[in-house]
Structure formats: structure tokens, C-alpha cells
Amino acid sequence: MSIFVYLTIYASLIIFFVTVMYKITDYLKKPLHVRWELYPVAHEGKKTSYGGGYLEETDWWDKPRPKSRLGELKVMIPEILFLKAVWENNRKLWYASFPFHFGLYLCTMFMALLGFASIGMLLGLSKGSLILSVVFAITNLCGPAGFILSIAGAAGLFYKRLTDPTLKDYSTFEHFFNLGLFIVTMTFALLTWLLVDPNFNVSRQFATNLISFNLVPIGSSLLSIQMVLIAILLAYIPLTHMSHFFMKYFLYHDIRWGDAPNIDSPSTNAKIGIVLNYPVTWAAPHIAGHGKSTWAEVATFNPTADAEEKKE
């Protein structure tokens, strides 16, 4: 049984990382797309405060266009941590969505701290050292708070999707399954903490065994079930729309804030060269049937007969 639990966790970690990497590389491999930015663009420095950008300047192509990373962080941090857009535009949902997301952040932190302490101990740090004492204390706070908040949030979202007429028609079996999976997993985590592992020593030992490939028996069936559920969740999340937790980076940085102009950039021009040579098979008469087959040919072809005559 214990071996099965260990192997499930290893498998889920592999699935998680492979899926995340696959989705990221799949996006990065996509050809050049046109610009489609949406203001306020967060990195426009002082102009961001009122939603402006570099196109407010004459001869903007001759002027420096510094990118404010700090500006981006100022938007991303409240957005990621506190779901600012939901707070501002959908307050009722925020009361459920925020605890759910924040609970998951705390759970992630909890797992990271377990991993950190395990590695520290494997490297010889003593349990009584100051650093590990602090880590243990934060772990003890993050774990239960994360479990409780995410259960409450997921239950709130479940209830809202079930009862709110505006959400009901847009909620599918998968939504309820996902939320249910979170509730069950986090409930097992909560029970393990309450009944078996109040200081997370057992969990930490399990993490140490996992990291050192020391596949010894786990000793608690409750913890075993919790670990299998976490493994399932971990492997499952990036396969669903919840992959927005990392793909959001591209939705914001590459699309919404993707305002980098092409000022005769050799790399952008090379990419334009590639896409303009892609074949076009759209079937409408104004596009097809003129014997033109690439974007470059189609885009420089005038489908109106008179214009053709004029050219000749």
C-alpha cells in the first residue's frame, strides 16, 4: 500500500511538470500573432496610472520606451493574491473565490515548507535550529488555515454554482467534480491534521522519505489516502481550465500587455516572413479561387476586377 502511495505521488509530480511544460512550450512555439493589447498596460510607468501608453508621444519610435517591471508586479500581486478583478467586478463571487484561492496558496506554501524542512534535515540541519523552528511554526499555521479556507471557498463556490441562476447554466459536471475533489482532498488533510498529525511531523517524515526515495511504510492510512488524493489533484489541475494558474502569465504578458512595437526588428521581421508564407485555405470567394496560396500572395492581391484592370 505504502509503495503504491509513493509511486502515485512520483507519477503525479511527473504528470504535473510534463503537462505544465507541454502547455507552456506549446504556447511559446506558436507563430507570431498580431498585437491585441488592452489598456491600462501595467508596464507603462507613470502613464499606467491613467491608462496611457507610449502611443501618446509624437515620433514614439524614436523615443525610449522603458518597461516598468515594478508596474507589472503592482498589478499582478494584488491580482494573484487577492483576486482584485473579482473583488471589483463580482463581489458576491469573491467571498467564495478568494478563500478558495488563498487557501490553495497557503496549501502550496505548506507543501513547500514541508519540502524545505525535509531537505534541510537531510542536509543535516537540526530540528531545534532557529531556521527550522521558524519553518515548523509557519507550517503549523499555513496548513490548517489553507485546508479550512480552501474547503470553505470550494463549498461556497459549489453552492453558488448550484443555486445562483446566473452561474447554474454555465456550470458543468466538471465544475462540480473539480470543486468536490478539492473539498474531499482538503477534508482528508484536515482530518489527518486533527486526528493523526497535529504538528505535521508525520507528514514531514513522509516528505523526507519521498525526497530521499526511502520508501518505508507510511503508518497512517488517513495520511495515505490524503497523499493519494493530493497526487490525483496535482496531476489533474493542469489538464483542466485551472491551468490558468500558470497560463495567465501569457494571457497578461503576451496578449493584454504585449505592446512591443516592431521597429524594423530583425527577429520580428523574420517571424513576419514565416507567417506571410503560410498557406491560406479560406474558402470564401473573395479569398479563394484566384490561384493565390500564401498569406503574402493573398494579402497583396486585389479581388475586385476593376482594380485589377486599373493595375494592368
Partner 1 sequence: MSKTKDSLKINDVSKDTEKLASVDPEDLMPLPGEFEEGPWGEIPAETREKYACILDDTCILPIPLPKTKAEEDDLVRKFLSGMEKLFSKENNWTFEPMLETSMEHCAKCNTCAEACHLYEASGRHDMYRPLYRSEIFRRIYKKYIKKESLSDWRNGPIDLNWRTVARLGELAYRCNICRRCAQTCPIGVDNALIAREIRKIFSQEMGIATPELHDKGSMLQLKVGSSTSMNGLVAKDNVQFIDEEFSEETGYEFSTPWDVEGADILLIHNAGEILAWPENIAAFSIIFQAAGLSYTLSSDLAAYDSINYGVFYDDVQFARTAILQAQAAKKLGVKKIILGECGHAHKALTVIADRVLPPGLQIPRESYLPTLRDIVLKDKIKLDPTRNNFPVTLHDPCNLTRLMGIIKPQRDIIKKICPQFREMHPHGPFNYCCGGGSGYAIMSRNTIPEWRAKISGRKKLEQICNAFSECRGPEEKYVAAPCSNCKGQLRDMFERYGLLEKEGLKYGGLVELVVNAMVDVKPGFISWEEE
Report the Cα–Cα distance between both ends of the chain, in Å, rounded: 81
Q: Is 39 in the site for partner 1 (CB under 8 A)?
A: yes
With CB under 8 A as the contact rule, the residue among 10, 60, 95, 236 that binds partner 1 is 60
Backbone phi, then psi, for 165, in 5-degree steps? -60, -30
Of 107-115, 130-138, 230-238, 256-264, which part binds partner 1 (CB under 8 A)?
256-264
Binders of partner 1 among 176-235, rule CB under 8 A? none
Binders of partner 1 among 137-166, rule CB under 8 A? 165-166
Q: Is 171 in the site for partner 1 (CB under 8 A)?
A: yes
Q: Is 312 in the site for partner 1 (CB under 8 A)?
A: no
Site string for partner 1, 258-277 (x = CB under 8 A): -x-xxxx---xx-xxx-xx-
Q: Is 24 in the site for partner 1 (CB under 8 A)?
A: no
Binders of partner 1 among 87-106, rule CB under 8 A? 88-90, 93, 97
DSSP label of 60: G
Angle made by CA atoms 201, 205, 209, in degrees to the nearest 5? 170
For the bound state, the minimum distance from the C-beta of residue 235 to partner 1, rounded and expressed in Å, comes to 16
Q: Is 55 in the site for partner 1 (CB under 8 A)?
A: yes
CA distance 225 to 197: 14
Q: Is 65 in the site for partner 1 (CB under 8 A)?
A: no
| CB nearer partner 1, residue 138 or residue 275 | 275
| CB nearer partner 1, residue 33 or residue 69 | 33
Q: What is the DSSP string of 214-277?
A: -------HHHHHHHHHHHHHHHHGGGSGGGHHHHHHHIIIIIIT-----SS-HHHHHHHHHHHT
CA distance 149 to 101: 8
Q: Is 81 in the site for partner 1 (CB under 8 A)?
A: no
Find out whether the peptide bond into 31 is cis, omega within 30 degrees of 0: no
